[in-house]
Chains A and B, each alone.
Chain A
Amino acid sequence: MRASFRNAVARLAPVVGLLVVILVFAVGTGAPERYLSTNNLRVVFAQTVIVALGAIGMTVIVVSAGIDLSVGSTIALTGVVAAMLLRAGQAPWIAMAAAVLCGGLVGLLNGLAITRLKVVPFIGTLGMLGIARGAAKWVAGQEAVYPPATWINELAVTVPTPPWLVFAPGVWMSVVLALVMAVVLRRTVFGRRVFALGSSEAAARACGIATDRLKIQIYALAGLFFGLAGVVQMSRLRLGDPTVAAGTELDVIAAVVIGGGSLNGGEGGIVGSMIGALAMAFLRNGTQQMGWPNYVQEIIIGVIIVGAVAADRLRHGGE
C-alpha cells in the first residue's frame, strides 16, 4: 500500500515539477499569454529536441544502472559526420543514417569497454567523451564543416515549412520515437530485462540473462539516439561543429533524473524523461525571457539536479 503510494508520488513528481516551472515563469514574466503562446511553445519544443532524443537513449542506460558521459562528444562527432557526407554530395537520408549508425558504433564501443574490459560505465564513457571529441575534431580537420542546404536543415526550425505541422518535424519525430521506446521499455522482453538488470545484476545473471550482451545492446541502442541528436544539432546550426554540445550529457542525465530515473538503476521511464527534458527547456526559456544572465540559469539547473537526486534518495530512504 505504502509502496504503491510512494510510486504514484514518484510518477507524478516530474509532472508537478514541470507545471511549477511553467507557472513560475508564466507569472514571473508578467505575460503568461506570451510565455504560453504557440510561438514560444514552438521555440521551447524545438530547443528540447536534442536533449529529448538524448534522454530517450539515456533512460534505457540509467534504468539498467549504467551511465553514459560521452553524449555531448557523440553529438558533435555524428553532426560532423552528417555534415561531411552532405558536403561530399551524399543524399540527406544517407547522411542521416550514417550519423545515426556512427552514434550506434560509439555506443557499441562503450558497451564493449564496459563488458569486455570490465571498465565501470562512468570511466569507460568518460574515456569515450575524450575519444569521440578528438575524433570529431580530427575528421573535421579542426574546423566547422559547412554542408549545402537540404531538408535536414528544416528538422528543428522554429516555424515548420508546411505550416499545418504547427511544430517542427523533429519535434514530431521525437514524440513518435519516445512513444515507441516507452513501449519497448515497458512491454518487450528486452525492456523488462533492462529493468531486471538495473534492479539486481546478480539476480539477472542467475536468471540466465546474458547480462554482458544485454549491456552492449543497451549502449549501442542509446548510441543510435545520440547519433540522431547529432543530426538535429547539425540541422539547428546548419553546420557540423566539432566543438559543439560540450556538457550536453549533463542536461540529458538531468532530464532523466528529473523524470524519475534512479541512478541506482531499476527505475525510470521515457515519458518521465521527456517531461524532465521539457522542464529544463521551459526553465532555460523562462530565465532568458526574464532577462536573467546565463549563469543564473546554470546555477538553477545545478540546484535542480541535486534536488531531484536528493528527492530520489529520500524516496528510497526506507530501503
Chain B
Amino acid sequence: MALPSDGRRPALRVAGVVKRFGATVALDGADLDVAEGEVHALIGENGAGKSTLLSVLAGLLRADAGTLEIAGQPYAPIAPRDAREHGIALIHQELSLFPHLSVAENVVMGREPARHGAFDWAAARRRTLEVLEEFGHPEIDPSTRVDALPIAARQVVEICRAVASRARVVLMDEPTSSLQRPDVERLFRLIRRLAAAGTAVVYISHFLEESREVSERFTVLRDGRTVATGPLAETTNDALITAMVGREVSELYPRRSPAAPSPPLLEMSNLVAPPAVRSASLSVRPGEVLGVFGLMGSGRTETVRALFGLAPAESGTLLLRGQEEAVTGGSPARRIRQGVGYVSEDRKGEGLALSLSVADNVTITRLASCTRMGILDPGRQRRDAEVAAARVGVKASSVLQPVRTLSGGNQQKTALARLLHQDADVLLLDEPTRGVDIGSKAQIYEAIAAIAAAGKAVVFVSSYLPELLGLCDRLAVMSRGRLSAARPVAEWTPESALEAAIAP
C-alpha cells in the first residue's frame, strides 16, 4: 500500500512496532515500508524514536510488539548476528569501528576469511580493496589502523563494511553529522550506487534538504508513531515540520518579549582551548537567550565546557557582571560560586547521578542551603527540590524517586531544575532537549523562556537548528573551533546557518 507504485518488491516492512524502556515509550506503533533499491528518509524530531527503530531492525533491541518482514519473510531478530544474516547493516550515528584494528579487519569483522581458523590476511586485504575501489576510495590502505584515518575516511570504511557483507537493507543513522560538505556529496554518491544495485537504504538526517537530495520517499515518526509517509516530491517542508512537531511550529516555541537593553552579564573574548576551540567570543545580557549552533566536532560543547572550567582554557578574557575573572585555571566549583550553571549534553554520563533521587540531583550544587548546622535536613532538601522541580514540570511520583526510573524528558528537566535551585544567573545549556519527547521539549522551552524573563542570561548550545531559531534572541555559529559573531535570529535562515556551520 505504501510502497512505490512501479512494482518494485518490498525489501523491508515494519508494522506496529512497540518498544518501551521502563516508563518511557520509545516506539508506539511505528510503521515503515521500503522497496528494493529505494532510499527512504526517516524523519522526526530528536526523541521521536528513529534511532530506536533502527536499533530494533539491527537486532540491538527487541521489540515488545509488532511485526517485521525482510523481503516478504517474517523477521524477528534477537541479536545483531540475526540482522547480519538477514542482510541488514546499520551505520551508526557514532561510528562503530574498532579504532585499534586495521581497515581490512574492520571491513571483514564478523565474517572473516579464514583457513583452518587462521585469519586470511591476503583474502581480507583483497576483499577490502575490491570494495574500496568499487566506491572510489582506492587511496585508503587496508592495512592502516583506523585510528590513524580522518573521520570522513572512517565513514567510508563503515559503509564498505555494510557493502562487503552484501547487505540488502542498509540503515544509516545521521551519517552526515560528522562530515564536511564534499564528503556529504561523496556519501550521497555512495548511497545512490548502493540503491542502483538494488539495496534498500533507510536514511535518517536532521536536515530536510539533505533528505530531499538523496531520498525518494519519507516516513515521519512522532513520539514513536508513524504519522505520515509518501513521496518527498509531493510534500512541502512546512507540511513535514508540522507532521514532525504535531502542531504548527509557531505553537512549539513560547512567545518572548525582547530583553531590555543592558550591559552584558557575561562577556567572553577570544577563548582558546586547544584542540577543539580555536577562537570563541560571546556575550549575553540579562533576559537574553543566546544560541550557539554547530555540527558534531565543531567545538560547540568544548567551548561551554572550557567556559565552565570543565576543560582547560589556554587564553581568553572573561567578564562576569563587568568584573574580570580568570578564564584559565577555572574550575566548576569557582564558576558555580560566580553564579554560572551548566547542563551537560551527556545526561547519563555527566549530567545526572542516575542512581540518586531527583531531590539529591536537584540540590547537589547548593546542598549547603539544605543543612542545619552542617547536618542535612531531608525535609528541607525535599521541599526545595519540589519547588525547583515543579518550576520546570518534572513528572515523578515523588522527588525521592531515583532519576534512573524517569523518562528522558523528565531526566533532562531534573538537570534544568538543578540550575534553578542553584539560582544561577548565567545558564550554559548544552543540548538540553536531546533525546526528549515533544511534550517535554515544549516544557523545556517554556522553562528557558521563563528563566530569561526573570532576568537570567542563557547560552543555549544545540545541533538542532529549528529550536535555536525558534527560541533564541541571537545566534552564533561554531565551525571548526571558531565561533562567528552573534546576530539576531531574524537575520539567519536555516540555509545561512548551515552554510556557516560547514564553512571551512
- Give me the interface of A with B, judged by CB distance under 8 Å: 1-4, 7, 187-193, 195-196, 198-200, 202-210, 266-267, 319
Q: What residues on B are CB-neighbors of A202 within 8 Å?
A: 96
With A and B bound together, what is the CA distance between A196 and B121 in angstroms? 16
- Interface flag for B193 (CB, 8 Å): no
Are A200 and B118 also in contact (CB < 8 A) when A4-B145, A319-B147 are? no
Q: What residues on A are CB-neighbors of B96 within 8 Å?
A: 200, 202-203, 206
Q: What residues on A are CB-neighbors of B101 within 8 Å?
A: 192, 195-196, 199
With A and B bound together, what is the CA distance between A291 and B80 in angstroms? 59
With A and B bound together, what is the CA distance between A196 and B119 in angstroms? 13
Q: What residues on A are CB-neighbors of B83 within 8 Å?
A: 208
Q: What residues on B are CB-neighbors of A206 within 8 Å?
A: 58, 60, 80, 90, 92, 96
Give the interface centre of B84, B90, B110 by most chain A CB atoms within 10 Å.
B110
Interface size class of B (residues with CB under 8 A): 20 to 34
- 8 nearest CB pairs, A to B: A207-B110, A208-B81, A266-B100, A3-B148, A199-B98, A203-B96, A208-B84, A208-B110
With A and B bound together, what is the CA distance between A203 and B110 in angstroms? 10
A207 adjacent to B100 (CB under 8 Å): no
Nearest-neighbor residue (CB-CB) of B98 within chain A: A199
With A and B bound together, what is the CA distance between A200 and B80 in angstroms? 15
Q: Is the interface of A mostly helix, strand, loop or mixed?
A: helix
Nearest-neighbor residue (CB-CB) of B111 within chain A: A208
Q: What residues on B are CB-neighbors of A190 within 8 Å?
A: 117
B145 adjacent to A266 (CB under 8 Å): no
- Interface flag for B183 (CB, 8 Å): no
With A and B bound together, what is the CA distance between A33 and B154 in angstroms? 53
B148 adjacent to A4 (CB under 8 Å): yes
Given known contacts A192-B109, A203-B96, what 9 new A-B pairs fall within 8 Å (CB)?
A4-B148, A189-B117, A190-B117, A196-B105, A198-B100, A200-B99, A203-B97, A206-B60, A207-B109
Nearest-neighbor residue (CB-CB) of A319 within chain B: B147
| A176 shortest CB reach to chain B, Å | 18
A189 adjacent to B119 (CB under 8 Å): yes
A203 adjacent to B98 (CB under 8 Å): yes
Nearest-neighbor residue (CB-CB) of A318 within chain B: B275
B117 adjacent to A267 (CB under 8 Å): no
- Interface flag for B431 (CB, 8 Å): no
Are A192 and B145 also in contact (CB < 8 A) when A202-B96, A207-B84, A266-B99 are? no
Q: What residues on A are CB-neighbors of B145 within 8 Å?
A: 3-4, 7
- Interface flag for B112 (CB, 8 Å): yes
Are A188 and B118 also in contact (CB < 8 A) when A3-B147, A209-B110 are? yes
Q: What residues on B are CB-neighbors of A3 within 8 Å?
A: 145, 147-148
Q: What residues on A are CB-neighbors of B119 within 8 Å?
A: 187-189, 191-192
Q: What residues on A are CB-neighbors of B390 within 8 Å?
A: none
With A and B bound together, what is the CA distance between A2 and B275 in angstroms? 16
| B402 shortest CB reach to chain A, Å | 19
A/B interface sample: 6 pairs, CB < 8 A: A4-B145, A192-B119, A203-B109, A206-B80, A208-B81, A208-B110
